[in-house]
Structure 1
């Protein structure tokens, strides 16, 4: 059994709800472009990064939470007023972050297994 909880959400409101239900836990969030019916994201970097991030999830801290969040369609993501950009200050997808800390990996950084592992293991 996994030593962490994985939550899949879509959209900003669902993300906020998932976070608020897990207050006090170590939360890692991965933001990706929406997937189509075949499970393929419109974001090519997200498609490449997901197996790298998933490959390092065994390093997640005991009792932590991993939230996989689809940010929406490409047009919504490109809108500079979307909640992810405005409120969470995301600048690109994929983004992997340790919620509530300045630690985050953006775009091509998510393709580097060593950086992903460091994000999951450093306090």
Structure 2
């Protein structure tokens, strides 16, 4: 059984709601593409990063929250004015970050198990 809470959301508004619900806790967030109706991803790096991130989650401290957020379809993601880019400075997918801090991993960094483990295990 996981020693952290995991929340899956889709879109900018749901992400903000999830953050509000867990105010005061350490929040880690993973931003990935949204899969189509058939379960197919438009971001090959997101597909490759998923098992690496899942494995690294074993290093998350007790009581933390992990939010997995799907950012939307490719046209929405490419819009420079989407909420993720404009308000959260999420400029790439996949992206892992410790919410409220400058600590983050983007794109190919998310494929490196040692970096993901380090992000999750740092206090």
TM-score (norm 1): 0.97
Deviation at 1:27, TM superposition (A): 0.3
Shift of 1:90: 1.1
Q: Give the match for residue 49 of structure 2.
A: 49
Matched, 1:112 2:112: yes
Which runs of 5 or more structure 2 residues have no equivalent in the other structure?
none
Mapped pair 1:29 → 2:21: no
Residues 1:40 and 2:43 aligned together: no
CA drift of 1:35 comes to: 1.0
For 2:39 and 2:51, how far apart are their aligned partners in 1? Answer: 13
Q: What is the SS of the residue equivalent to 1:115? A: helix
Q: Alpha carbon RMSD of aligned pairs, Å?
A: 0.8
Cα distance in 2, alignment partners of residues 70 and 9 from structure 1:
6
What do residues 46-99 of structure 1 show as CA deviations (whole Å, max 9, x unaligned)? 000011000111111101000000000000000000000000011100000000
Matched, 1:122 2:115: no
* Aligned equivalent of 1:10: 10
Taking structure 2 as the reference length, the TM-score comes to: 0.97
Output aligned runs, 1:79-98, within 5 Å. 79-98=79-98
Kept after mapping to 2: 8 A contact 1:32/1:70? yes
Residue 26 (structure 1) shift: 0.6
SS in 2 for 1:28: strand
Residue segments in structure 1 that go unaligned for 5+ positions in a row: none
Q: Distance in 2 between matches of 1:48 and 1:96?
A: 14
